[in-house]
Amino acid sequence: MSALTESTLLAVVFLLYFTAAFVWPTLRVWRLSGKNPYVLPSSDDVYGFVTKGMRIVMVSLVAYVLLQAVHPDLGRYTGEIAWLSRPALRSIGWILLAMALLWTVGAQYQMGLSWRIGIDMQHRTALVTSGLFAVSRNPIFLAMRLSLLGMMLIRPNAVTVAIWLVGDVLMQFQVRLEEAYLLQRHGSAYAVYSARVRRWI
């Protein structure tokens, strides 16, 4: 596969991922429930700080995948990591991206109208514990972690490593904030669920 073809494919896969993970579920939930599922805050507390950080990571990620599609040799200018630039690792990266996309679509479908971007303190949503949620308490965040790791393995450089590490750390904070809220909202039902199912897998 040529560098140009691979760069274009990487951009297409990530655009599909963003559509599956954010755009389509947002429109579906909004249309069926009349509620906007985008509930991320702009507050000056820990949650607001994590939210701002995730916005920066997502904007950086979109900018990077689009820019590398136009300039396949971008790695030369972003601190390419030669010892990670191996065909086997690149293949693993593509496998992780494919898994993340399929995992996300499945989890989004299983969440139904309970899906939100952020913590919805205004409306009570059902606690989803079946399907992929019987394997992982946070399957969508797990898929996001895999997608960032996959991109880094496909395009190992200082920019992708930074996006991967910062994004992963912020998601560790985000899931703990969401889990604390779910425990408060659902009480013993969530406590029993947490004892049975791991945070990640």
Q: Residues 177-184: what's their mean pLDDT?
A: 93
Q: Please determine, for residue 56, whether its predicted confidence score (pLDDT) is greater than 80.
A: yes
pLDDT computed for residue 3 by the predictor: 56
Percentage of the residues of the chain whose pLDDT score is greater than 70: 98
In a domain, 201, yes or no: no
Residue 102 lies in a domain: yes
Alpha-helical segments (H) within the chain: 3-18, 24-33, 46-70, 87-111, 139-154, 158-186, 188-196
Range of the domain at 10: 3-196
Burial of 159: CB neighbours in 10 Å, binned 0-12, 13-18, 19+ = buried
Instruction: Assign 22 a pLDDT band (cuts: 50, 70, 90).
Output: confident
Q: Are 133 and 43 in contact (CB under 8 A)?
A: no
Q: State residue 72's pLDDT score.
A: 79
Residue 192 lies in a domain: yes
Residue 26 lies in a domain: yes
Nearest to 142 by CA among 60, 198, 189, 64: 198
Given this model, what pLDDT does residue 1 score? 57
Region of poorest pLDDT, from 42-46, 103-107, 176-180: 42-46
Percent over 90 (pLDDT), the chain: 58
Cβ atoms of 29 and 37 closer than 8 Å: yes
What pLDDT, on a 0 to 100 scale, did the predictor assign at position 36? 83
CATH number at residue 156: 1.20.120.1630
Q: How far apart are CA 201 and CA 162, in angstroms?
A: 24
pLDDT tens-digit map of 148-171: 999 999 999 999 999 999 999 999
pTM for this predicted structure: 0.90
Encode pLDDT of 117-153 as tens digits.
888 788 788 899 999 999 999 999 999 999 999 999 9
**Amino acid at site 148:** L
Q: In the structure encoding, which two tokens stand for residue 19, read together?
A: 């559509």
In a domain, 180, yes or no: yes
User: Which tokens hold the place of 57?
Assistant: 């990571």
157 φ, ψ (degrees, to nearest 5): -155, 175
Q: Between helices 87-111 and 24-33, what is the axis angle to 10°?
A: 0
161-171 burial code (b ≥16 CB/10 A, e <16): bbbbebbeebb
Length of the chain: 201
168-191: average pLDDT: 94
What's the chain's average pLDDT? 90
Give the total number of structural domains in the chain.
Answer: 1
Give 52 or 43, the one with higher predicted confidence.
52
